[in-house]
């Protein structure tokens, strides 16, 4: 265990920070659940992580283009509808497989800059 | 025998007084203008187990005590022999020299800024355009806040790195290269910025060896 | 500090430390980053997704 004298300043809500860092998964990442009896959930975790990753990437790209003014009104409307539906569907799927946000952590390592 | 690299230091360092991963010996190899601090780790690359990672960190930390200009190495595959190591260092000679000069007498301070309340808008309400407008507004506001916080702190650092919005709540991840003697005033600076933003939580860690300034990160770096 | 806060502090500093040792720091070898951790330490995220399903099943079979 490292000394926690590395904690220079934390007068705020350290719990909130710990929770977000867990989401980003920069500590030793949890293995995907490879228990044969729960392989289905493990696979769902894989697939949903990818879907969530793509959704976030695409949404960021779209927002950037919207910000630059290079999307038509029609495109904005259609993209918004699609992202809303995707978000809803993700929530349903997460519930179905008993997965939480932190199970779909998006630590991309060197590709982290994409987000 | 694989050579595991712990760090690169400027000039020729004295023999490091520390044992390395799995109790292995740690030694300093002079290569041109720098020294590579390595350890023998047996067959094949050292596995990045929690213990090994902590030991690696400990060695680097110890080296900070005796080297004024040090570039921590990432936990990597290691080298077959000193020849391979020397070749790799020669190939990055210029970047290493520049990085060593930049980190001289400095430590790294890390920052995480989390937003307490992220407005989770009603997902299904309104039109697609409403959704996009809300999201854009939210992202713009978050980026503006992250930039404000980062710029205020980067101003008192020799160099900095940042990542904005790694998650919707993790507003900013920053690394700041600060001269050793300025750590306390930097921390006060963090305190000041935090006072201005009661809606955010700040965690500042360090002082670390300058891991984030050992590589040239063209996207996320400021001068 | 309460025990709870001390544990959180340890957790946070461990995350920061591991992040630095594994993701930051100078890289001198060629095919770095993605393969630093080999198969064992795989980010649950993009890299795990790049792992074939076959090796997932393999691990399931070999897991203690």
Question: Quick check: helix, strand or coil at residue B127?
Answer: coil
**Residues B216 and B111 reside in one and the same domain:** yes
pLDDT at A25: 58
CATH code for position B117? 3.30.70
36-55 of A, contacting C, C-beta below 8 A: 36, 39, 42-43, 45-46, 49-50, 53
Scan for tokens 């980003």, then name that residue: A24
- Is the peptide bond prior to B207 cis by the omega test (within 30 degrees of 0)? yes
Which chains sit next to A, with 3 or more Cβ pairs under 8 A?
Answer: B, C
Test C32 with B74 for CB contact under 8 angstroms: yes
Q: Does A113 touch chain B (CB under 8 A)?
A: yes
The total domain count for chain B is 2
Query: Are B27 and B129 in a shared domain?
Result: no
Q: Which residues partner with B36 through β-bridges? A: B8, B29
Q: With beta carbons under 8 A apart, name residues in chain C contacting A6.
A: 13, 16-17
- Specify the DSSP element, H or E, that contains B3: strand B3-10
Judged by CB atoms closer than 8 Å, whether chains meet at A7 and B203 is answered as: yes
| Average of per-residue pLDDT across A6-21 | 85
What is the spatial distance between Cα B67 and Cα B62, in angstroms, rounded to a whole number?
A: 9
Sign of CA dihedral C8, C10, C13, C15: negative
Residue B73 DSSP one-character state: B
Asked whether residue B57 falls in the same domain as residue B119, the answer is no
Distance from CA of B169 to the nearest CA of A (A): 7
Give CA–CA dist B30/B8, Å, rounded: 10
Burial B69-80 (b: 16+ CB within 10 A, else e): bbbbbbbbbbbe
Q: Which of A2-11, A76-85, B132-141 has the lowest mean pLDDT?
A: A2-11
Q: Based on the domain organization, do B112 and B77 belong to the same domain?
A: no
Which chain B residue's Cα is nearest to C42? B48
- Say if residue B79 is in the same domain as residue B120: no
CB atoms within 10 A of CB A74: 10
Whether residues B78 and B151 fall in one domain: no
| Other CB atoms within 10 Å distance of the CB of residue A2 | 15
**Interface touch C27/B73, C-beta < 8 Å:** yes
Q: How far is C17 from chain A (nearest CA, A)?
A: 8
Q: B12 and B116: one domain? A: no
Whether residue B146 sits in one domain with residue B74: no
Share of chain C above pLDDT 70, in %: 34
Please tell me the number of Cα atoms within 13 Å of A112 on its side-chain side. 24
Residue scoring higher pLDDT (C39 or B34): B34
The domain boundary, picked from B103, B133, B154, lies at B103
In this prediction the pTM is 0.80
Identify the band that residue C15 occupies on the pLDDT scale cut at 50, 70 and 90: confident
Q: Which residues of C touch B57 (CB under 8 A)?
A: 17, 20-21
Mean pLDDT over the full length of chain B: 88
The residues that bridge with B173 in the sheet, in sequence order, are: B112, B163
Q: Is residue B138 located within the same domain as residue B210?
A: yes
Across the interface, whether the CB atoms of A108 and C12 are under 8 A apart is answered: no
Question: At A100, is the secondary structure helix, strand, or coil?
Answer: coil
A67 and chain B: CB distance < 8 Å anywhere?
A: yes
Average pLDDT of the residues of chain A: 76
Name the token pair of B222. Answer: 């400021």
Structural domain for B92, as ranges? 3-103
Render B151-187 in DSSP notation, one character per residue.
HHHHTTSSEEEEEE-SSSSEEEEEEEEEEGGGHHHHH
What is the reported pLDDT for B182? 96
Q: Do B22 and B81 reside in the same domain of the chain?
A: yes
The gap between the terminal CA atoms of chain C, to the nearest Å, is: 37
At C27, is the pLDDT very low, low, confident or very high (cuts 50, 70, 90)?
confident
The secondary structure of B43-60 as a DSSP string is SSSPP--HHHHHHHHHHH
* ipTM of predicted complex: 0.88
Which residues in chain C are contacts of B75 at CB distance < 8 A?
21-22, 25, 36
What's the order of all strands across the beta sheet hosting B34-40?
B26-31, B34-40, B3-10, B70-72
Sign of the alpha-carbon torsion through B128, B131, B137, B143: negative
Which tens digit of pLDDT belongs to each residue from B177-194? 999 999 999 999 999 999
Of B51, B79, B103, the one marking the end of a domain is: B103
Q: What does DSSP say about strands B26-31 and A7-9: parallel, antiparallel, or unpaired?
A: unpaired
Which of B50, A35, B61, B10 is CA-nearest to residue C41? Answer: B50
In this structure, are B93 and B15 located in the same domain?
A: yes
Q: Could you tell me if B60 and B112 lie in one domain? A: no
Domain boundary residue, one of B55, B85, B103 = B103
């Amino acid at each position: 265990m490292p000394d926690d004298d590395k904690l220079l300043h934390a007068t705020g809500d350290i719990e909130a920070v710990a929770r977000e860092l867990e989401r980003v998964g920069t500590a030793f990442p949890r293995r995907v659940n490879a228990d044969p009896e729960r392989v289905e959930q493990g696979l769902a975790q894989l697939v949903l992580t990818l879907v969530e990753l793509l959704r976030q990437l695409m949404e960021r790209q779209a927002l950037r283009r919207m910000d630059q003014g290079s999307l038509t009104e029609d495109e904005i409307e259609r993209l918004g509808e699609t992202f809303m539906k995707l978000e809803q569907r993700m929530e349903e799927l997460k519930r179905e497989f008993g997965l939480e946000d932190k199970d779909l952590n998006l630590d991309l390592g060197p590709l982290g800059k994409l987000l | 025998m694989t050579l595991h690299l712990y760090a690169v230091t400027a000039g020729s360092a004295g023999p490091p007084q520390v044992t390395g991963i799995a109790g292995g010996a740690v030694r300093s190899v002079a290569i041109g203008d720098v020294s590579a601090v390595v350890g023998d780790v047996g067959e094949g690359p050292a596995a990045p187990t929690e213990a090994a990672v902590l030991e690696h960190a400990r060695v680097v930390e110890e080296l900070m005590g005796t080297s004024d200009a040090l570039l921590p190495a990432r936990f990597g595959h290691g080298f077959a022999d000193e020849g391979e190591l020397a070749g790799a260092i020669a190939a990055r000679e210029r970047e290493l020299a520049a990085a060593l000069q930049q980190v001289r007498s400095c430590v790294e301070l890390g920052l995480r800024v989390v937003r307490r309340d992220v407005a989770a808008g009603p997902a299904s309400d309104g039109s697609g355009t409403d959704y996009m407008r809300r999201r854009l507004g939210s992202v713009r506001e978050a980026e503006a806040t992250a930039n404000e916080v980062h710029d205020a702190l980067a101003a008192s650092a020799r160099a900095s790195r940042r990542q904005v919005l790694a998650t919707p709540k993790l507003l900013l991840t920053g690394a700041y290269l600060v001269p050793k003697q300025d750590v306390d005033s930097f921390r006060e600076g963090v305190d000041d910025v935090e006072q201005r933003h009661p809606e955010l939580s700040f965690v500042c860690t360090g002082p670390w060896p300058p891991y984030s300034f050992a590589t040239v990160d063209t996207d996320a770096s400021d001068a | 500090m309460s025990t709870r806060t001390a544990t959180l502090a340890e957790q946070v500093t461990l995350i920061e430390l591991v992040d630095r040792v594994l993701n930051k720091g100078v890289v001198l070898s060629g095919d770095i980053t993605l393969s630093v951790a080999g198969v064992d330490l795989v980010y649950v995220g993009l890299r795990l997704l790049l792992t074939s399903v076959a090796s997932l099943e393999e691990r399931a079979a070999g897991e203690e």
